[in-house]
Structure 1
Amino acid sequence: MIEFRNVSKTYPNGVKGLKNINLTIEKGEFIVIVGLSGAGKSTLLRSINRLHEISEGEIMIDNESITAAKGKNLRHIRRDIGMIFQNFNLVKRSTVLRNVLSGRVAYHNTLRTVFGLFPKEDVNLALNALDRVNIVEKAYTRSDQLSGGQQQRVSIARALAQEAKIILADEPVASLDPLTTKQVMDDLKKINQELGITTVVNLHFIDIARQYATRIIGLNAGEVVFDGPVDEATDEKFQEIYGQQLEKEQQRGPIGEGAE
C-alpha cells in the first residue's frame, strides 16, 4: 500500500529530517510511529501525502508514485488519503456536518463545494460517518462548541466521508485527557479493524503505542531504529529509540509534543 524507497529529506537550513528511509506498509496495518520531538515523525508522516516534499527517493502509494505525480493525478492519489491533525483543523464557525462534508470536496467541482451544494448521497455518507464515531447528534452544532475530543472525532468522520483508503494521524491525542484519548484511539482502531483502512499514527506515548499498534516503527534523528510487531517492542528497544530521555518521559507521564 505504501512504500518508501531510499527516502531522505534535507531542510533548507541543512538539517536532515529523514535519512535513507526504506519501509513497506501493507494494506490494513495499524502502524504507530514513535520517537522524541525532532526525530522525524511528522516529516515521515506528512511526506506520505506530500504535505512535506522529500529531497531524495520515492514514495509509492498502491504501486503509483506520489512523488512524481502532478495535477489531476496527484489530486486523485491524495483523495484516498485522509489526514487527522493534532489541532483538529476544523472550520470552527461551520457546523459539524459541513466540516465532515469537506471530505467530499475532491469529488466535486469547485462551484458546487463553495456553495455547499452537496448531493443527498454525500450528506447521508457524512451522517453515517458521524454515527460511526458516536457524534451524529452534534451534526448541526457549530464545531467551536464541541470539546477537544468531540472535535477530533469530527476530523475522523471527515476522513471516513472522504472514503479514504489510508488514514494518517499526526499526534491526534497529544492535547486530550486520558479518557478522551482512549475514546479517540478506540475509534481509530475500530475503523481500522472493521473497514480495513490502513492507519499510520504518530504518538509520543509508549503505553498507547503498545496497546493499539499492530506494528511499531521507531525513529531517532531521522533514521529507522526499530521496525517490528508490538511483542518485539521491549523496554530495551524503546531505550534505543528514546535514549537517555526514556526515563524522563516515563517519570513525567504522558505528554504532548509540538510539530517537528
Structure 2
Amino acid sequence: MIQFNKVKKVYPNGTVGLDNINLTIHPGEFVIIVGLSGAGKSTLLRAMNRLHEISEGEILIDGKSITKAKGADLRRIRRDIGMIFQNFNLVKRVTVLRNVLSGRVGYHGTMRTLLGLWPKRDIELAHDALRRVNIPDKAYVRADQLSGGQQQRVSIARALAQEAKIILADEPVASLDPLTTVQVMDDLKRINQELGITTIVNLHFLDLARKYGTRIIGLRAGKVVFDGPVEDATDDVFAEIYGRKIQKDELLGTVEA
C-alpha cells in the first residue's frame, strides 16, 4: 500500500509541484496518472521512491515512511520499487542480461556486482524476466542493438528481476510508435494481472488510460482533481482535468476498447 499524507512539493523557484496530496494506492492496482505537462505527474511518481524530495507531509510504503527513511532502511524500501523511464535508462554498451541483472544490485555488496559475480538464482530470475516480456533470445545482445520497444521491455524485465512489489512507469511509451506502445502496455498489464504487482503509470494518451487502467488519477496544477475508476473517466471528466477539450494528439487513435 502507498499512502500520501498531506504531501506538498515546492521547487526552489517557488513553483508548487504537488499541493496537499492525500492518496491511498492499494496492492495490485493498475493506476494511470493523467494531466497536462507541468501538472505534477512526474513529481508525484518520483516522490514515491524519493527521486524527488517532498517539502511537506509524508509518504508511506507498506506502512513504512520512505520520507523519513535513511541509509539501509531507505535502500530496503527502494528495493521493492521498480522504475521504468521514458528513455529506458539502460547501459547501452553491455548485454541485455547484464542490464536486467542490475535490478539485483540492491541485494548484494558493491564488489560482487562490480565483478559481475551473480548467484545462479539471480541469473535464473533475469532469464525468467526476459521470457515474461517475450525477448529471451536477446539476453546476450548488446542493449544498443535493440529497437526502442525491445529496450523498454528490458527495463520492465529489470524491474521484474528486482522482484519489485511496485512498478512506477514515467511516460514509458512516449517515445514509441503506436504498435510498440500497445505491446509494451500489454506487457505491463499482463504482469500486473499475473504477478499482482502494483503498477502506476504516467500517460499522455487518454485512450490508453481508459484501456489499461483500473483507476485514473487526474492532476491539475499539482492538485488531485479526479480520482476514480476508469469507467467514470468520461470525456467531460478529462476536459475538467485538462481545463479544455481533449485534443487529437492526446489520443493514440489505434487502441481498441
Instruction: Give the structure-2-normalised TM-score.
Output: 0.97
Specify the code of the residue in structure 2 equivalent to 1:173. Answer: V
Which whole-Å CA distance do the structure 2 matches of 1:158 and 1:32 have between them? 21
Number of equivalenced pairs: 253
2:156 corresponds to 1:156: yes
Distance 1:185 1:251 in 2: 18
Q: Which runs of 5+ in 2 are unaligned?
A: none
Equivalent position of 2:217 in the other structure: 217
Instruction: Give the 5 Å matches for 1:98-247.
Output: 98-244=98-244, 246-247=245-246
Query: Partner residue of 1:250?
Result: 248
Partner SS for 2:77: helix
CA distance in 1, matches of 2:108, 2:57: 32
* RMSD value, Cα: 1.1
Which residue does the alignment assign to 1:258? none
Distance 1:76 1:220, change over 3 A: same
User: Secondary structure of the residue that 1:176 maps to in structure 2?
Assistant: coil
Q: What SS does structure 2 have at the residue aligned with 1:94? A: coil
Is 2:3–2:23's contact at 8 Å kept on the other side of the alignment?
A: yes
Closer, same or farther: CA 252–192 of 1 in aligned 2, 3 Å: closer
SS in 2 for 1:134: coil
Distance 1:115 1:86 in 2: 29
Separation (CA, whole Å) in 2 of partners of 1:2 and 1:251: 31
Letter in 2 for 1:49: N
Shift of 1:200: 0.3
Query: Distance between the aligned counterparts of 2:84 and 2:191, measured in 1?
Result: 14
Q: Does 1:80 align with 2:49?
A: no
Would the aligned equivalents of 2:95 and 2:140 in 1 still touch at CA under 8 Å?
yes
**Which letter does structure 1 place at the counterpart of 2:248?**
Q
Aligned partners of 2:250 and 2:127: how far apart in 1?
40
Q: Structure 2 counterpart of 1:250, which letter?
A: K
State the 1:243 CA deviation.
1.3
AA in 1 matched with 2:68 = A
CA distance in 2, matches of 1:73, 1:129: 26
* Aligned position for 2:21: 21
CA-to-aligned-CA distance 1:149-176 (integer Å, 9 cap, x gap): 0000000000000000000000000000
Amino acid at match of 1:226: F
Q: CA deviation at 1:253?
A: 4.5
Q: Which runs of 5+ in 1 are unaligned?
A: 256-260
Deviation at 1:120, TM superposition (A): 1.0
Conserved in 1, the CA contact under 8 Å of 2:208 and 2:252? no
Q: Distance in 2 between matches of 1:79 and 1:252?
A: 33
Matched, 1:89 2:89: yes
Alpha-carbon distance, 1:250 to partner: 2.2
Q: Where do 4+ consecutive residues of structure 1 move more than 2 Å? A: 249-255
Distance 1:175 1:51 in 2: 22
Matches of 2:194 and 2:214, distance apart in 1 = 15
Q: CA deviation at 1:252?
A: 6.7
Query: Which residue matches 2:10?
Result: 10
> Which one-letter code corresponds to 1:212 in the other structure?
Y
In 2, the alpha carbon distance for the partners of 1:22 and 1:220 equals 14
**TM-score normalised over the length of structure 1:** 0.96
Deviation string 1:164-195 (CA, Å, 9 cap, x unpaired) is 00000000000001100011000000000000
How far residue 22 of structure 1 moved from its aligned partner, in angstroms, is 0.2
| 1:96-132 per-position Cα deviation (integer Å, ceiling 9, x unaligned) | 0000000000000000000111011100100000000
SS at match of 1:224: strand
Shift of 1:254: 3.9
The question of whether the paired residues in 1 share the 8 Å contact of 2:206 and 2:250 is answered with no
